[in-house]
Amino acid sequence: MSILYVVATPIGNLEDITERAKRILSEVDLIAAEDTRHTAKLLAHLNIRTSLTAYHDHNESRASRSLIDMIKNGKDVALVSDAGTPLIADPGYRLVKLAREEGVKVVPVPGPSALIAALCVAGLPSDKFTYYGFLPAKSKALEDFLTAQKNETGTLVFYESPHRLVKTIEMFERVFGGDRTLVVARELTKKFEQVSFATIGETRQRIEAGEITVKGEFVLLLQGQQKIEPNWDERELLTVLLSELPISKAAEIASRLTGGAKKTLYKLAVSIKKGD
């Protein structure tokens, strides 16, 4: 049975291609590439003459079908993206899913990925992290999305483009406050590689001062929540407190725990007592 190889390529530094990736790319019958012109340059550099075909967001369904048919007919195919690991914020998921569904063997040829390169130099906890890819573009959607991650305790990893970087960091400050550590990993493995480790507030100042250049490719890594902020259900909390305490004491304690107004909680406690 022929094979679909999922091959990682460099994220900037051509020396990061693996020996195995070179061999597989030269041995397969066809390379499915996100951008054939881009990959042609890599192949020229590696002196590899394998044929290329386009596989990108706009032809994923159709191309997946024909690539899987080719593999079933005895051709080995390698999937690559413009940079790093295919499927990681890049096309490939449909192809691999179809391969799995149809019993086609899929083999990884691991190598560079910006998220792992960034995580391993960030200095943030790496035992538990969540990779979110690119963030929503619109402010409201971005704020809602980040607010929903407020209690995440592991490191949060995002891909970001230079033209949205400042807005995103401002939103981090609005949603998470200025004190969490934010690592900005820029142009990894390239000539102008830069990794900034500072609080969110200091990072914003570094950008304003021109110490972090807002150009190139970025991974943002945000420290997770250190202390869980409980998401109190006020009615449930008051019900428990009222089983032991008078109304005003229950309202006072609920107010201290939730940060809610004592008057409002008192009214809610009265209604619970009445059985409303």
Which residues of this protein are in contact with ligand SAM, per CB under 6 A? Answer: 11-12, 81, 83-85, 88-90, 113-115, 159-161, 185, 187-190, 217-219
Q: Is the CB of 216 or the CB of 260 nearer to ligand SAM?
A: 216
15: which DSSP letter?
A: G
Q: Is 274 exposed, middle or buried (0-12, 13-18, 19+ CB in 10 A)?
A: exposed
User: For 44, phi and psi rounded to 5 degrees?
Assistant: -60, -45
Q: Is the CB of 182 or the CB of 268 nearer to ligand SAM?
A: 182
Give the nearest distance from C-beta 159 to ligand SAM in angstroms. 3
* E strands, the chain, in order: 3-7, 30-33, 51-54, 77-80, 105-109, 129-134, 155-160, 181-186, 194-199, 218-222
Q: Are strands 155-160 and 129-134 parallel, antiparallel or unpaired?
A: parallel
Give the nearest distance from C-beta 110 to ligand SAM in angstroms. 10
Q: Which pair of tokens denotes residue 18?
A: 């693996």
Give the nearest distance from C-beta 205 to ligand SAM in angstroms. 22
Q: Is the CB of 34 or the CB of 173 nearer to ligand SAM?
A: 34
Give the nearest distance from C-beta 237 to ligand SAM in angstroms. 42
What distance, in Å, lies between the first and last C-alpha atoms of the chain?
Answer: 68
Q: Is the CB of 207 or the CB of 247 nearer to ligand SAM?
A: 207
115: which DSSP letter?
A: H
Q: Which residue is nearest to ligand SAM (CB)?
A: 84
Give the nearest distance from C-beta 160 to ligand SAM in angstroms. 6
Q: Is the CB of 113 or the CB of 268 nearer to ligand SAM?
A: 113
Give the nearest distance from C-beta 56 to ligand SAM in angstroms. 11
Quick one: which of 95, 11, 92, 80 has its CA closest to 48?
80
Q: Is 25 exposed, middle or buried (0-12, 13-18, 19+ CB in 10 A)?
A: buried
Q: Is the CB of 116 or the CB of 272 nearer to ligand SAM?
A: 116
